[in-house]
Amino acid sequence: MREGEKEERTQPFSSPEFAPVKLGGGISPQLIAGRKAGKAEKVHLVIRRLLRQRAIQEGKAFLDLGTDSFYPFFQQYSATQQALQALGDYAYTARWYPSSFGLLQLREEAQRFLRTRFNVHIDMEKELMITAGASQAFDALSRTFQGECFLLPDLAISTIHTIAIANGARPLRIPLDPVSGLVNLQEAARLLEREGWPTIRFLYLNYPHNPTGVCATRAFFEEVVAFAKQFQVLVVHNMDSWYQAHVSGISLPNILEVDGAKEVAITLLSFSKEFGLPGLRIALVAGNAEVINALRIHNSEYSVMLPEPCQYAALAALQAFHEDEERRALSRSITEILHFSLEAWKALGWPEASIYPPASGYKYLLAVPPGFQAADGISGAELFDFYVASRAFVKLSTSRAFNEENAKFLRIILMQDMETMQEVFRRLHEINVHYAMPMPAGLLDEYHQTLDGIDLAHL
């Protein structure tokens, strides 16, 4: 072999000018766009992690009222306990690949649950399926359909926003009615007209609403169905809270209760909040048969399979759910924690008009102390949240996680028992938190120093 021949063969693999610019052709710009759209929530999670580590180093408990990850109320709830027991009883099913459609027994029980809970009659073969949590269903929907845009409320969970953008859709925000707190459908129609009637992948609704706790009425859902039929829009009703109410006699309707809703709508019900089982990653999806079939095709083609032990746990939870004294007592205790926290904020100087009690669900909003003003691109809400977390190791969250343009509110999650909630407000009182307090000097610099070394552009 000639000397030059060896060099010629090895050069393409060793010389920089022959190397590809980016592996795989580069990361999808749509994925990067989705990631950037959720930056506020990512910063919240980074600060939570950093300050939690600091709390551990100082030997203190980090009290979280801002990260939707755990609900302690269900530790003794029999339906939750039976679900956990089923995980062990059916662990052997992990030895084979599961179906992407969902267990027959679970779909049968889901069919019964929808009938008894909402008087909604579902064909379990055509109008019902099981998914790996609500977020996976959002992802499947925004991949399966190809409309230019998607409609969502002014405040909506970050997951639906970032996933749909990452899958190539453009968000259109619908303002909330200032009186009812519900999505303003007249404004939605005007928005579509202003945008030149783009194709729409879906209209996302979350009632009871996260983060305001506002409940929809059946009359409102009738208007939604009429709107969807007029403009040929698929409606996705995410009902992650379907039991917990804080107002006596209030109704929590599902959109499928409305005549004709199945022509344009689907609903999602998860096990995370009402059973305290977010780790199962299981949700029921029911409604329009064509949409359900499209989701089934998606999950089959993308091999989205739900571990059967988790499905059997969900089955056990549904079978054990009864609107009995145990569940009513549990609900009352959650409402007591809510009322305690509302009164505690008032004791710290929050005017009643600056507190927004929820009618249902596990979240509510709170006005930001006016002394905390935006600076250097950081909102007053984030700076107050950081102040509380860094001084008291109590973490809240802000409305920017639901819409980066909205920094008006702090969001509080009912995710701690009464004893822990009492400790939260003891700590806030200890560091002199008050609605009329000024923003401490140097807080902005401290905020930046805490995040120093973290590349926020790549969060």
Per-residue pLDDT tens over the stretch 259-284 = 999 999 999 999 999 999 999 999 99
What is the Cα–Cα distance from 256 to 326, expressed in whole angstroms?
Answer: 28
314-331: pLDDT as tens digits: 999 999 999 999 999 999
Q: What's the token pair of residue 331?
A: 């609900």
Show the domains of the chain with their CATH numbers: 29-74+325-458 (3.90.1150.10), 79-320 (3.40.640.10)
Structure tokens that stand for 282 in this block: 């299981």
Predicted confidence (pLDDT) per residue in 133-149, tens digit: 899 999 999 999 999 99
pLDDT tens column, 51-98: 999 999 999 999 999 988 888 899 999 999 999 999 999 999 999 999
Determine the pLDDT at residue 1.
45
Q: Are 217 and 245 in contact (CB under 8 A)?
A: no
136 contact partners, CB below 8 Å, separation of at least 6: 281, 283, 304
Q: Are 397 and 413 in contact (CB under 8 A)?
A: yes
**pLDDT reported for residue 24:** 82
- Residue 4's pLDDT band, with cuts at 50, 70 and 90, is very low
Q: Is the pTM of this model over 0.85?
A: yes
Across the range 47-53, mean pLDDT stands at 93
**Mean pLDDT of the 364-389 span:** 96
Average pLDDT for 2-7: 44
For all residues of the chain together, what is the average pLDDT?
A: 92
Dump strand ranges (E) for 221-311.
235-238, 265-270, 283-287
d(CA 382, CA 375): 10
> In whole angstroms, what is the distance from residue 182 CA to residue 218 CA?
12
* C-alpha 13: how far from chain center: 46
Whole-number pLDDT of residue 20:
54
Closest CA to 319 of 271, 268, 253, 254: 271
pLDDT in the model for residue 341: 98
Q: How would you write 110-152 as a 3-class SS string?
A: HHHHHHHHHCCCCCCCCCEEEECHHHHHHHHHHHHCCCCEEEE
Beta bridge partners of 171: 150
| Dist CA 244 CA 456 (whole Å) | 37
Query: What pLDDT band is residue 29 in, cutting at 50, 70 and 90?
Result: confident
> What is the reported pLDDT for 276?
94
pLDDT of 349 above 90: yes
User: Cα 208 to chain center, whole Å?
Assistant: 12
Neighbours of 173 (CB within 10 A): 18
Contact indicator for 74, 330 with CB cutoff of 8 Å: yes
Residue 181, phi-psi category: left (phi > 0), alpha (psi -120 to 50), beta (remainder): left
